[in-house]
Amino acid sequence: MAKMLSVKDLNVSYGAINAIRGISFDVEEGEIVTLIGANGAGKTTTLHAISRLLKPKSGTIEFCGTPISNMDAYKIINLGLTQVPEGRRVFSNLTVQQNLELGAYTRKDGADAIAADYEKVFERLPRLKERRKQLAGTLSGGEQQMLAIGRSIMCTPKMILMDEPSMGLSPLLVQEIFDIIKDLNKSGTTILLVEQNAKKALEIANRAYVLETGLISMSGNASELANNPKVQAAYLGA
Amino acid sequence: MQFVSFLVNGISLGSIYAIIALGYTMVYGIARMLNFAHGDVIMIGSYLVFVLMGSLGMPPFVAVLGAMVGCTLLGITIERIAYKPLREAPSLAVLITAIGVSYLLQNVALLIWGSNPKSFTSVVKMDPIRLFDGQLVITGETLATIIISVIIMIALTLFVNRTKMGRAMLAVSEDKGAAQLMGINVNRTISLTFAIGSALAAIAGVLLCSTYPTLQPTTGAMPGIKAFVAAVFGGIGSIPGAMLGGVLLGVIESLSKAYISSQMADAIVFGVLVIVLLVKPKGILGKAVKEKV
Domain-wise residue ranges, chain B: 2-220
CA distance B181 to chain A (A): 6
A85 part of a folded domain: yes
Task: Pick B182's closest partner by Cβ from A52, A92, A103.
Answer: A103
- Interface membership of A92 toward B (CB under 8 Å): yes
Q: Which of B30, B182, B287, B290 to mutate to probe the A interface, most A CBs <10 Å? A: B182
Q: How many domains does chain A have?
A: 1
* pLDDT at residue B115, as a whole number: 87
CB B254 within 8 A of CB B10: yes
Predicted local confidence at residue B166, as pLDDT: 93
Domain that holds residue A79: 3-90+157-235
Q: Does residue A231 belong to any structural domain of this protein?
A: yes
Query: Model ipTM?
Result: 0.93
pLDDT at B7: 92
Low-confidence ranges of chain A (pLDDT < 50): none
Name every chain A residue with its beta carbon within 8 A of the beta carbon of B184. Answer: 74, 102, 105
Please give, one letter per residue, the 3-state secondary structure of chain B: CHHHHHHHHHHHHHHHHHHHHHHHHHHHHHHCCCCCCHHHHHHHHHHHHHHHHHHCCCCHHHHHHHHHHHHHHHHHHHHHHHHHHHCCCCHHHHHHHHHHHHHHHHHHHHHHHCCCCEECCCCCCCCCEEECCCCEEECHHHHHHHHHHHHHHHHHHHHHHHCHHHHHHHHHHHCHHHHHHCCCCHHHHHHHHHHHHHHHHHHHHHHHHHHCCEECCCCCHHHHHHHHHHHHHHCCCCHHHHHHHHHHHHHHHHHHHHHCCCCCHHHHHHHHHHHHHHHCCCCCCCCCCCCCC
B178 touches chain A (CB under 8 A): yes
* Average pLDDT score, chain A: 93
* Chain A residues lying within 8 Å of B179, measured CB to CB: 74, 102
A26: domain CATH number is 3.40.50.300
Q: What is the pLDDT of residue A73?
A: 94
Could you write out the three-class secondary structure of A73-123? HHHHHHHCEEEECCCCCCCCCCEHHHHHHHHCCCCCCCHHHHHHHHHHHHH
- pLDDT the model gives residue B60: 86
Instruction: Classify residue A73: in a domain, yes or no.
Output: yes
Q: Does the beta-carbon distance from A82 to B174 stay under 8 Å?
A: no
Rounded Cα distance, A5 and A62, in Å: 6
pLDDT computed for residue B291 by the predictor:
42
Give yes or no for a contact between A45 and A19, defined as CB atoms under 8 angstroms apart: yes
Q: Which residues in chain B have their CB less than 8 angstroms from residue A77's CB?
A: 181-183
Q: Average pLDDT across each block of 10 residues of chain B; the chain has 293 residues. List them in order.
A: 88 94 92 91 94 87 94 96 91 93 95 88 79 80 90 92 92 94 95 95 92 89 91 88 93 92 88 88 71 39
Q: Nearest CB to B184: which of A53, A74, A94? A: A74
Q: Which of B167, B181, B186 sits opposite A98 (nearest CB)?
A: B167
pLDDT per residue as tens digits for the range A66-89: 999 999 999 999 999 999 999 999
